[in-house]
Amino acid sequence: MPPIRRKKAPETDKNSGSDSGTRKGDDEEEKDKQKNNSKKKETTKAKKVKEKSKWSCVDSCCWLIGCICVTWWVLLFLYKAMPASFPQYVTEAITGPLPDSPGVKLRKEGLKVKHPVVFVPGIVTGGLELWEGRQCADGLFRKRLWGGTFGEVYKRPLCWVEHMSLDNESGLDPPGIRVRRVPGLVAADYFAPGYFVWAVLIANLACIGYEEKNMYMAAYDWRISFQNTEVRDQSLSEIKSKIELMVATSGGKKAVILPHSMGALYFLHFMKWVEAPAPMGGGGGPDWCSKHIKAVMNIAGPFLGVPKAVAGLFSAEAKDIAVARAIAPGFLDNDMFRLQTLQHVMKMTRTWDSTMSMIPKGGDTIWGDLDWSPEEGYVPSKRRQRNNDTELARQNATGSLGSQSKRIYYGRMISFGKDIAEAASSEIELLDFQDAIKGNTVANTTCRDVWTEYHDMGIEGIRAVAEHKVFSAGSVIDLLQFVAPKMMARGSAHFSYGIADNLDDPKYKHYKFWSNPLETRLPNAPDMEIFSLYGVGIPTERAYVYELSPSAECNIPFQISTSADGEDEDSCLKDGVYTVDGDETVPVLSAGFMCAKGWRGKTRFNPSGIRTYVREYDHSPPTNLLEGRGTQSGAHVDIMGNFALIEDVMRVVAGATGEDLGGNRVYSDIFKWSENIKLHL
């Protein structure tokens, strides 16, 4: 029988009734035929005839959707029915057996829960939830606005921006809006679903017996300035009482503090606050810290600030956004949706006081001036890796190569134009921009809805800023004061960026100095230990090449000049950003200097001689996609999943000291660079 016949015979049988007009004869034939068959068959036939007439486009759509649904459900069912360890099997089959997680490993070694642990999350990673809102935020009561799925950003972006912003004058809640931090471990275990922050560390600590009663997440509202968290939410008091309680209930064992990122500055503030007398401080008395704290293990703490913060405040962009603009220039700049995203973001972030805590501190002494910078001679890690030699040879290589390559003036934190960034300092003439008249507000009626302070500046001011050409860490603060006077007025009441000459000066009792390690003394707690744990081996933003943005007045007038690239592939200058070694956000200098030099031994910043340790974790990216974010990462947030770091942390909470861990562990040139810094100690 030919195949075509085989296909058709049954089909004709079935389809015969569909075209009732032309196919009538056939139909009757069919029916005659069917009379011979059973009655049941006949009824089914009749039903089918009816159905067939319904077959149309809509039906096919439905059919398609039905198929998809069924498949989806089946897959979902299979997925749910799958044993939980299945993905692990697959991973192990492909990459070989995974190493034990540090928790399991150390439990086998017999480590047990000992000291209570306090986590201090950093900026951005903590969740925020709504307690009171405007009309547009109906139904979001106690839902997360920040963290989680961020579903509301897409649904009602303007409402979201409105609720996330703070009051422009006071830096506190706008009237009628209360957004508060999410409390408890859930505040920052996962930032978004699947994107862990503290979760891995928590899970590993739980392996050796930690639980809710001896772990505490010191969640705070990271948008407002540190002292305001106490004024508004009494967060500092809460941390104090919680630490006291945990120390008391775990039999007098002192607490181990784990601050991450900005949390390091927050906790520095806390340590001063808690010992300060009552009206402004916590009234814990001068030995509170030595009685309650065993160790502070700062994870990627930006003690001296991060250059990223400057770019963020100056033009609401960092490397990531600048690159995005370079790739898709049409998208961010066009006003098709009248969204003016960047301006909105900028307006919102400028109301957040805490961002100002991360402005580089210590001025030219630390970050270098027009001619000099502590990282001079640094060669990007890519090149180092290429010289695939032993440690020693590598050191030599970097030295020699560094001297050969062109000098990079990292000290020039913002320069207008690439040529300026590379010119010798004598060639640059500095104009005083602060005297420039702030022109009348130009055409700001059109852009009123997206108000940023740039509109108050006028063309004159903008030009004056651009003509000044170069800003070092010290003058960047002047620049920001010029560009965003309101914000800086608020900020300078809460933060300070200088270096103290005389720490006994009574003015240093004010809380605005408490979070600057260069203007405070550490508490008198000789038994305490301070660790700096951070990742290295990732290019990190250090200085920027800017240009005036070409478009109309409504835009932010400055932008990173993404066309400014270095000559060769390995140059530190890429897309208008000079990079150095660090963990992608915090340069090594900021994370390591205080522990490597500023506090080492007995200095004036550390009068009681608290022991300090620097422990670096060299970044190695995950070998394949299955590993997720890697177990040896050194990136700013991913380092919280770094097995070596977790192991160090767990040993300390189980009772080990810094010496037991092996003291310092260094991959970068932090000690060399620290020596370059001429800071009176």
Partner 1 sequence: MGSILRFRKLWYLGPVRCSPLELQSFENREVDKEDEGVAPKVESVVVDKKREQKKRNKRQPKEWRCIDYCCWIIGYLCTTWWLLFFVYHCLPATLPGFQVPESPGTRLKSEGLSALHPVVLVPGIVTGGLELWEGRPCAEGLFRKRLWGGSFAEIFKRPFCWLEHLSLHNETGLDPPGIRVRAVPGLVAADYFAPGYFVWAVLIENLAKIGYEGKNLHMAAYDWRLSFQNTEIRDQALSRLKSKIEVMYVTNGYKKVVVVPHSMGVLYFLHFLKWVESPPPIGGGGGPGWCARHIQAVMNIGPAFLGVPKAVSNIFSAEGKDVAFIRYNVQGLREKFANCVLHTYFTVFLSRAMAPGVFDSEILGLRTLEHLLRVSRTWDSTVSLLPKGGETIWGNLDWSPEEGHGCDFTTKGEAHASGNSVNNVNQSRGLEVKDLVKYGRIISFGKAVSQLPSSQLPNIDPKQEFSCSSATNFSSLCGEVWTEYDEMSRERVQKIAKTNCYTAITLFDLLRCVAPKMMQRAEAHFSHGISENLDDPKYAHYRYWSNPLETKLPNAPDMEIYCLYGVGIPTERAYVYKSSPADKCKHIPFRIDSSADGDEGSCLNSGVYFVDGDESVPVISAGFMCAKGWRGGTRFNPSGMATYIREYKHKAPASLLEGRGTESGAHVDIMGNVALIEDVLRVAAGSTGKEIGGEK
Residue 104 makes contact with partner 1 by CB under 8 A: no
Q: Which of 48, 156, 510, 672 is the binder for partner 1 (CB under 8 A)?
A: 48
Chain centre distance of CA 404: 35
Residue 143 makes contact with partner 1 by CB under 8 A: no
Alpha-helix runs per DSSP H in 280-389: 288-292, 307-315, 319-327, 329-333, 341-350, 363-367, 381-386
Point out the catalytic residue in the list 583, 638, 648, 669.
583
Chain position carrying tokens 């704290």: 293
Phi and psi torsions of 371, nearest 5°: -105, -20
User: For the stretch 93-123, what's the b/e string if a residue is b when 16 or more beta carbons lie within 10 angstroms of its beta carbon?
Assistant: eeeeeeeebbbebbbeeebebbbbbbbbbbb
Q: Which of 20, 99, 104, 141 is the binder for partner 1 (CB under 8 A)?
A: 141
What is the smallest separation between the CB atom of 153 and partner 1, expressed in angstroms? 16
Identity (one letter) of the amino acid at 304? L
Q: Which of 21, 96, 110, 139 is the binder for partner 1 (CB under 8 A)?
A: 139
Catalytic residue check, 583: yes
What is the smallest separation between the CB atom of 64 and partner 1, expressed in angstroms? 7
What is the smallest separation between the CB atom of 1 and partner 1, expressed in angstroms? 6
What is the smallest separation between the CB atom of 12 and partner 1, expressed in angstroms? 4
Chain position carrying tokens 């420039």: 436
Q: Which of 46, 76, 245, 327 is the binder for partner 1 (CB under 8 A)?
A: 245
What is the smallest separation between the CB atom of 154 and partner 1, expressed in angstroms? 13
For CA atoms 241, 243, 245, 247, the dihedral sign is: negative
Alpha-helix runs per DSSP H in 435-555: 454-468, 473-483, 485-492
Whether the CB-CB separation of 208 and 654 falls below 8 Å is answered with: yes
The CA distance from 297 to 257, in Å, is 6
Catalytic residue check, 369: no
What is the smallest separation between the CB atom of 209 and partner 1, expressed in angstroms? 8
Point out the catalytic residue in the list 163, 344, 468, 636.
636
Using CB under 8 A as the binding rule, the residues of this chain from 63 to 92 that contact partner 1 are 63-70, 80, 84-85
Nearer to partner 1, 41 or 382 (CB): 41
Looking at residue 252, what DSSP letter applies? Answer: T
Whether the CB-CB separation of 358 and 302 falls below 8 Å is answered with: yes
Residue 31 makes contact with partner 1 by CB under 8 A: no
Catalytic residue check, 261: yes
> Which x/- pattern over 163-202 shows residues binding partner 1 (rule: CB under 8 A)?
---------------x-xx-xxxx--x------------x
∠ CA 133-134-137, rounded to 5°: 75
Beta bridge partners of 178: 132
**Number of residues located near partner 1, criterion CB under 8 A:** 76
Q: Give every CB contact of residue 423 below 8 A, 6+ residues apart in sequence.
A: none
Point out the catalytic residue in the list 16, 165, 235, 261.
261
Residue 231 makes contact with partner 1 by CB under 8 A: no
Nearer to partner 1, 1 or 93 (CB): 1
> Which x/- pattern over 277-306 shows residues binding partner 1 (rule: CB under 8 A)?
------------------------------
Q: At what angle do helices 341-350 and 307-315 cross, to 10 degrees?
A: 120
What is the smallest separation between the CB atom of 528 and partner 1, expressed in angstroms? 23
Instruction: Pick the piece of the chain touching partner 1 (CB under 8 A) from 22-30, 143-151, 321-329, 355-363.
Output: 22-30
Q: Which of 57, 94, 96, 142 is the binder for partner 1 (CB under 8 A)?
A: 142
Residue 134 makes contact with partner 1 by CB under 8 A: no
Instruction: Pick the piece of the chain touching partner 1 (CB under 8 A) from 239-247, 309-317, 397-405, 438-446.
Output: 239-247
What is the smallest separation between the CB atom of 211 and partner 1, expressed in angstroms? 5
Beta bridge partners of 438: none
Q: Which helix (H) or strand (E) holds 560?
A: strand 558-560
Q: Which helix (H) or strand (E) holds 612?
A: strand 611-618
Nearer to partner 1, 536 or 640 (CB): 640
Looking at residue 84, what DSSP letter applies? Answer: T
Instruction: Tell me the catalytic residues.
Output: 261, 583, 636
